[in-house]
Chain A
Amino acid sequence: MRRDFVKGVLVFLLLVGFSAAFCLQSAGAQEKKPIIIGGSLPLTGEFAETAKWIKLGMEYWGQEVNKKGGLLGRPVEFKIYDDESNANKAVTFAEKAITVDKVDLLFGGYPGTAARAVMPVAEKHKYVYVSMGGHMKSFEQGYTYCFGGPPLMGEWWYEGFFLWLNSLPPEQRPKRAALYTMNNPIGASLMSSLYTWLKKLGIEIVIDEKYNLPLPDATPLVVKAKQMNCDILFSNGFFDDGVMTIRAAKALDYNPKAIVQGIGSVIPAWIKELGPDGDYVFSGTSLYNKLKYPGNDQLNAYVKEKFNLPGYPVYFGFGYCWMQVLAQGVEGAGGLDQTKIRDWLKSHEVHSIAGPMKFDAKGLPAPINFCTQIQNGKVELIWPKDQATAEPIYPKPAWKK
């Protein structure tokens, strides 16, 4: 009697289960199955702030695509893991996205350390991976499915600045350079172009020092540069050490003709926190919201409305741009076959907010070389000429006390 009852309940539950599954399936079949784009971002931990903007940029792209009827006529959907700013976890999640979730597309990772680690995974599983890449080395491993679209390339970082400097009459160029570089792969990636260009421009390297992060005190650096009469200061560091160096330079009244700042000056906090002291600093970028390529205005309008920002943050642009490139590959290939996407990308020019790009065998576009300078609390493009939004201010005016 009791057993029969249990059996009955079981059969009933099974039936309910089946019908529920059936209903769900039929409901799902009415809409097109979404294209799942997976991967990981450092949503927490050290790089959380940057990742936040990449995510917003990607999602904005997804929103726009879905509004226009989707990719290949199917809606797109992100499946984003949080790798907690840990490159090893980024690798695990990439594996998981590909093998367990069987995602349709892989999105680009951040930061360089994570992207560099994920690149071999993408290659192994033959998934197209459009990201910032690590640095030049990671594009020299013979990977064929990896693209820097655009990459964030330390090796190219100062390219624009030097091209501009090169355009100056020799007598106006600085003569003695002080190089202070953070002792990590990102700092190191800046060096080769510095050495090559400084030699080419006939600028003597008077100081060439590396420091470990955190930098305890920037005063000695500035004292030394001032004593050695260096008239150009390369501060190749992040935000914390960068602002310290600027503050020390101001306090000690050190006025080189130009201060070139690596990565620190790229984030909005530089302008917000340093105020006028952050002005006149040169830097480089491979993407910027004042670029005149199509799409930039639209992104700027969006962030203006949504976040009340004057222009999109650079990582918002990166997130958007990587998806833009990947999507053109998908549409060009006319399907989700990764190898076809790759072959299309290798053989066609893509158009993005970072300009037109044609990828070489390494998956890299031609060196991108925008030079920026902060003027009146705004980042202005000063090189190349056709993209310039302002004339460079050089030599740097004395500190306002």
Chain B
Amino acid sequence: MNTVLLVQSLIGGIIMGSVYALLGVGFSLTWGVMRVIHISHAAFGLIAAFVAYGCLQRWGIDPIASLVFMVPLLFCCACFVYRFLILPVTKAREVIVSSMILTFGIAIIVENIMLLIWGPDPRLITTWYTSRVFIVGPFYFQYAPVAGFVMAVAGVGVIHLFLKKTYTGKAVRAAWQQSDAAQLYGVNLTRISMITFGLAVGSAGAGGVGLALLYSFEPHAHNLWLIYLFLVVIVGGVGNVLGTAAAGVLIGIITGLSLAFLPYQWVNPLTFGLLMAVLAVRPHGLFRSEV
């Protein structure tokens, strides 16, 4: 067996899966907690990627460092979007459907704004550590993807701790599990939803930058990212943060294994075949929904 190829493929796959998971947790939360399938989630992540690219080009700010102001910025932006666009829709009878239609519209608008500002050219982030590697035995670890991976672990970890350890995070979970009771004990549903949405979009920013460390991107890229979001979130269980992370890693492992052992054109059918199998066997995802 070709160990080097296998390990190298697995590393790549797991890194990819984790970064998609980072982009996916927020999507999972808005879906699970607010019943909003936020189609423009990945588009906001893409904005972050473009801004990070711009900051790097113009001021030499590291893309990861730029998250320091990008995440709060996206948070505020999202609160605004929530208050004026999403909130009215959550009062509709069919929240899921109407929110999908609404956020699909937002995605198109955001995409066109990106086209206007940055044009349709593909971008590629090049930092001092791009293509640099550290070598462990026969294995190569590329700095940029590893940085993306570390970011993903940190990001998912922070969101997990937020939900488990802080009062606001607990209120988010409570609001999802029992919205009436949560309100009866002082949780302002609108405020909590706004915070959830803001955090989700903020984390999308981190995910977007993470993906930009791995892949090239252009204003349409979010459509592709969105497909992977659905994949990790559905496999991981809607609303389940650690499940999303596990699903990301799992999909990464499957991708890695198939890249190592199977003809390459089987990889995507296999991955999405897995999605269908999961939906057929466990419609609520592989992991128990537990926010």
Direct contact of A and B (CB under 8 A): yes
Interface residues of A, Cβ cutoff 8 Å to B: 45-46, 48-49, 52, 180, 183, 209-212, 214-217, 219-221, 223-224, 227, 239-240, 243-244, 247-248, 250-252, 267-269, 272-275, 277, 399, 401
CB-contact partner of B124 in A49, A274, A399, under 8 A: A274
Chain B count of residues within 8 A CB distance of the other chain: 39
Which residues does chain B contribute within 8 Å of A251, judged by CB atoms? 131-133, 140, 142
Q: Is B215's CB within 8 Å of the partner chain A?
A: yes
CB distance from B126 to the nearest CB of A (A): 6
CB-contact partner of A227 in B4, B9, B133, B264, under 8 A: B4
Given the interface pairs A210-B264, A211-B265, the reply to whether A219 lies near B133 with Cβ below 8 Å is: no
A220:B8 contact, CB within 8 angstroms? yes
Q: Is B216's CB within 8 Å of the partner chain A?
A: yes
CB-contact partner of B264 in A209, A240, A269, A277, under 8 A: A209
A49:B119 contact, CB within 8 angstroms? yes
Bound together, the chains give a CA A152 to CA B225 distance in angstroms of 30
Given the interface pairs A227-B5, A250-B131, the reply to whether A216 lies near B216 with Cβ below 8 Å is: no
Known contacts A212-B268, A240-B122, A273-B216; can you find 12 more A-B pairs with CB under 8 A? A45-B220, A49-B120, A217-B15, A219-B8, A219-B142, A221-B264, A223-B8, A223-B9, A240-B215, A252-B140, A269-B122, A275-B126
CB distance from A73 to the nearest CB of B (A): 38
Q: B223 — nearest CB in chain A belongs to which residue?
A: A46
CB distance from A125 to the nearest CB of B (A): 32
Which residues does chain B contribute within 8 Å of A401, judged by CB atoms? 131-132
CB distance from B123 to the nearest CB of A (A): 6
Would you list 12 pairs from A and B whose C-beta atoms are within 8 A, ordered by A residue?
A45-B220, A49-B218, A52-B120, A211-B267, A216-B255, A217-B12, A217-B259, A219-B9, A220-B5, A223-B5, A272-B121, A273-B122
Which residues does chain B contribute within 8 Å of A48, judged by CB atoms? 115, 120
A216:B259 contact, CB within 8 angstroms? yes
Q: From residue 1 to 55 of chain B, which have CB atoms closer than 8 A to chain A?
A: 2, 4-5, 8-9, 11-13, 15-16
User: Which 10 residue pairs are nearest across A and B when measured between Cβ atoms?
Assistant: A217-B12, A211-B264, A49-B120, A273-B124, A220-B259, A220-B9, A219-B12, A212-B268, A250-B131, A183-B265
Bound together, the chains give a CA A227 to CA B12 distance in angstroms of 17
Write the B89-131 contact mask toward A (1 if CB under 8 angstroms, else 0): 0000000000000000000000000010001111110100011
Q: Is B224's CB within 8 Å of the partner chain A?
A: yes
B120:A243 contact, CB within 8 angstroms? no
Q: A218 — nearest CB in chain B belongs to which residue?
A: B12
Bound together, the chains give a CA A220 to CA B15 distance in angstroms of 13
Bound together, the chains give a CA A99 to CA B10 distance in angstroms of 56
CB distance from B91 to the nearest CB of A (A): 33
Q: Is B186's CB within 8 Å of the partner chain A?
A: no
Q: A238 — nearest CB in chain B belongs to which residue?
A: B122
Which residues does chain A contribute within 8 Å of B81, judged by CB atoms? none
CB distance from B239 to the nearest CB of A (A): 26
A247:B8 contact, CB within 8 angstroms? no
Q: From residue 208 to 254 of chain B, which have CB atoms closer than 8 A to chain A?
A: 215-216, 218, 220, 224
